[in-house]
Structure 1
Amino acid sequence: MSQSGAARAVPVVWSPTTREHDPRHEVWVGVATDGTEVAARVDTILEALRAEGHVLLEATPQPDEPMLGVHDGELVGFLRGASERWAAGPYAALVGQERVVPYLFPTPAMTAGLPARTATAVHADAGRFAYDTMTLIGPGTWPAARAAVDCALGAVELVLDGEPLAYALSRPPGHHATPTGFGGSCYLNNAAVAAQALRMSGIERVAVVDLDAHHGNGTSAIFYERPDVLYGSVHVDPAAGWFPHYVGHADELGAGPGEGANRNLPLPEGAGDGPWLDAVGTLADWVGAAGCGALVVSLGVDAAADDPESPLEVTAEGYRIAGEFLARTDLPAVVVQEGGYHLPTLGGLVAAYLSGHAT
């Protein structure tokens, strides 16, 4: 599939509805801080890709089945109705909080083996699904998250119709969303939904390669016991104190039928193009030898040197070369947007990756 010469135009599937999610702020160590996963990300990326000559296509509504193949229906139902439940409560008047945010989490430390019931109050029920206080839900969150899934599935459709490469401008991102929970600025796992849709189309084995600066714990969890979807990630070492902290280590290899289908390559703080590209190349070789029929790339560009959300030092040229490495797998590929928060460089980094993968 890869070819020499200038980069070809890539179809870009996007939706104006993805702008509707406004996190307003995050609650980090008890303090409301400015949100970083903002709607301007969409327009910054669109502007850069339009300037590069890529073809912009608006997403159309897609079926729920692939989404429900990777997410529990209770999570989907909560996300769909959470903002309306919150608005019907006293939170705006009492404390000025217009976004859904949990205040407790029914972990084993709390329930301690007692028969836990479903909480009545939405501020308590939110803790059943959210696993952090950073990922707030507002009136536009569900429409945007569902539209992000439509973008991913639209890109899958294009690849199944014969496009060698398609890009989904999915926002909010998704790779931290687990089968039953949301967090890390992610609500629905767009890349996992794309991989599930490719499997449902009849492709026997699919690979997901995650380039985001942070381990995609959600994608890993979804496929951890499945041999039909490989998950490989290069990310900053969670043992150095980085999200998601508890998981993402090199000895997590999958379990049961999925043993050997999970591969994590954590990097130290300050790692730049050299070690990062070595890891990407390792994952590309692993995927290429695994008998996969399609590839999903979780394209986070927050590993870049200017990004405020990670300590990695990858350059735009590094992203371009990463695209070349993954193109050499010679697999039809769906690229799904994940992180990337430095607006002045965001669009150029995405364009750099696509220029490498599309040559």
Structure 2
Amino acid sequence: MITVISRQHSIHNPKFEFYRGEKVPCFESPQRLEYVIQALHDRGHDVREAEQLSDRVLPTVHSQRYLQFLASAWDQWTALAADNIDKQPFPSVWPVRSLRSDIEPKNFIARLGLYSMDNGTPMAAGTWVAAKAGADAAVSAVALLNAGHTSAFCATRPPGHHAGPDFMGGYCFLNNAAIAAQSLRDSGCQRVAIIDVDYHHGNGTQTIFYDRPDVLFVSLHGDPRTEYPFYLGHADETGRGAGQGYNLNLPMTAGTDTATWFAALDTACRQIIRFQADALVISLGLDTFAEDPISRFTLQSDDFFHIGTRLATLRLPTVFIMEGGYATTALGHNTVNVLEGFDNAY
């Protein structure tokens, strides 16, 4: 399996975030991906730079207003004050419920709140360039499938599955899984399935495709009553309008054992088979690992190999998209275990 990367990921390097109300070093760091890339090289994988651009696909996944804000946000921030170049901006107000979101405020922090679902998604000088490069890599991975490869891995950061049509959140700015799925549709696939195995529900991906019957979204994740993103990911969310029946959430309680998790994976795979997808996108979060510092499932390193094996039985052209996973030193090993389990079984 070929891996597509972007070296530009490292210029998105904020120094701190707010986690449960405390200022802490960022869990989502450049070191995460460096461990993955090193493991890929150590185990003999073909690693390439992205060659395609996502410019045509981006406006079909995200709103133009949101894209314009993201592309210019750091320049807007630093134009406010000379010393802002050494500071990270965070939102402090959000347009919830009865408040209006159709008018973009002139105040920068208010604009940031308009396009944010939390204050745990720190920006830095290179955020837009890194996020855009990740989207380019997702499209490049799809191009490999179009060229006849059975699978490809998009190994980039920041992750994407919490980013919605017009908002960022959960470390995510552009939704690479949704971009890959839309690119597959644009390439001629009639039905695309997305399975999200990250510990946290892919609320952004669900929102993007919730009204559509051509993209099935299935997610295995921590129960949103106790786990981020809290406000989406319940089992009764099954789609809307034409998309009714094309969204499947499989929430599980914190501490869920491995056997229960794999039973949920089997349920997800059966749903994908019934959907008769032409291609598969996997939001590959590795924060289901027992030693992850911000998640609470119990999978071990060998279990990730079996995840790849099970997904390979679907026999679909497959794009893996890197999402979460914050046990940094183990992340490379666990990631490559999934890919090799898939390759060995396909």
TM-score, normalized by the shorter chain, greater than 0.5: yes
The 5 A counterparts of 1:38-117 are 38-90=29-81, 92=83, 98-109=87-98, 111=99, 117=103
| Residues 21, 172 of structure 1: 8 Å contact kept | yes
Tell me the equivalent position of 1:312.
Answer: 297
Tell me the equivalent position of 2:338.
Answer: 353
SS in structure 2 at match of 1:65: coil
Distance 1:97 1:121 in 2: 20
Distance 2:82 2:222 in 1: 37
The 5 A counterparts of 1:330-345 are 330-345=315-330
Tell me the equivalent position of 1:33.
Answer: 24
Give, in angstroms, the shift of residue 106 of structure 1: 2.1
Give, in angstroms, the shift of residue 97 of structure 1: 6.2
Give, in angstroms, the shift of residue 29 of structure 1: 4.7
Tell me the equivalent position of 2:270.
Answer: 285
Structure 1 residue runs without a partner (length 5+): 1-9
Give, in angstroms, the shift of residue 91 of structure 1: 7.8
How many residues in Structure 1 have an aligned counterpart in Structure 2?
A: 344
Residues 1:155 and 2:146 aligned together? no
Q: Deviations over 1:160-207 (max 9, x none)?
A: 111111000020000000011000000000000000000001100000
Q: Deviations over 1:19-67 (max 9, x none)?
A: 1101211123543221110001121000111111110101124131222
**Structure 2 residue aligned with 1:187, among 168, 173, 177?**
173
Distance 1:287 1:29 in 2: 36
Structure 2 residue runs without a partner (length 5+): none
**Structure 1 residue aligned with 2:154, among 168, 175, 180?**
168
SS in structure 2 at match of 1:88: helix
Give, in angstroms, the shift of residue 108 of structure 1: 3.0
Tell me the equivalent position of 1:7.
Answer: none
**Structure 1 residue aligned with 2:261, among 269, 273, 276?**
276
Q: Deviations over 1:254-309 (max 9, x none)?
A: 11101110001111111132111111111112112211100000000001001111
**Structure 1 residue aligned with 2:202, among 216, 226, 244?**
216
- RMSD, aligned CA: 1.5
SS in structure 2 at match of 1:231: strand
Distance 1:349 1:38 in 2: 17
Q: Deviations over 1:67-107 (max 9, x none)?
A: 211100111111100001101113836xx962221121122
Distance 2:169 2:73 in 1: 15
SS in structure 2 at match of 1:208: strand
- One-letter amino acid matched to 1:235: H
SS in structure 1 at match of 2:185: helix
Give, in angstroms, the shift of residue 319 of structure 1: 1.4
- One-letter amino acid matched to 1:309: I
Residues 1:259 and 2:244 aligned together? yes
What's the TM-score once normalised by structure 1's chain length?
0.93
- One-letter amino acid matched to 1:165: S
- One-letter amino acid matched to 2:56: E
Tell me the equivalent position of 2:124.
Answer: 138
- One-letter amino acid matched to 2:166: T
Give, in angstroms, the shift of residue 121 of structure 1: 1.8
| Residues 72, 180 of structure 1: 8 Å contact kept | yes
| Residues 54, 135 of structure 2: 8 Å contact kept | no
Distance 2:246 2:95 in 1: 31
Distance 1:221 1:71 in 2: 11
- One-letter amino acid matched to 1:85: Q
| Residues 83, 99 of structure 1: 8 Å contact kept | no
Tell me the equivalent position of 1:201.
Answer: 187
Distance 1:192 1:213 in 2: 18
SS in structure 2 at match of 1:56: strand
- One-letter amino acid matched to 2:41: R
Q: Deviations over 1:141-162 (max 9, x none)?
A: 0000001111111110001111
Distance 2:102 2:131 in 1: 29
SS in structure 1 at match of 2:80: coil
- One-letter amino acid matched to 1:308: P
Distance 2:244 2:227 in 1: 25
What's the TM-score once normalised by structure 2's chain length?
0.96
- One-letter amino acid matched to 2:127: T
Residues 1:126 and 2:117 aligned together? no
Alpha carbons of structure 1 residues 116 and 276: separation in structure 2 relative to 1, 3 Å: closer
| 285-294 vs 181-190, which moves further | 285-294
Distance 1:341 1:221 in 2: 25
- One-letter amino acid matched to 2:328: L
| Residues 286, 331 of structure 2: 8 Å contact kept | yes
| Residues 91, 98 of structure 1: 8 Å contact kept | no
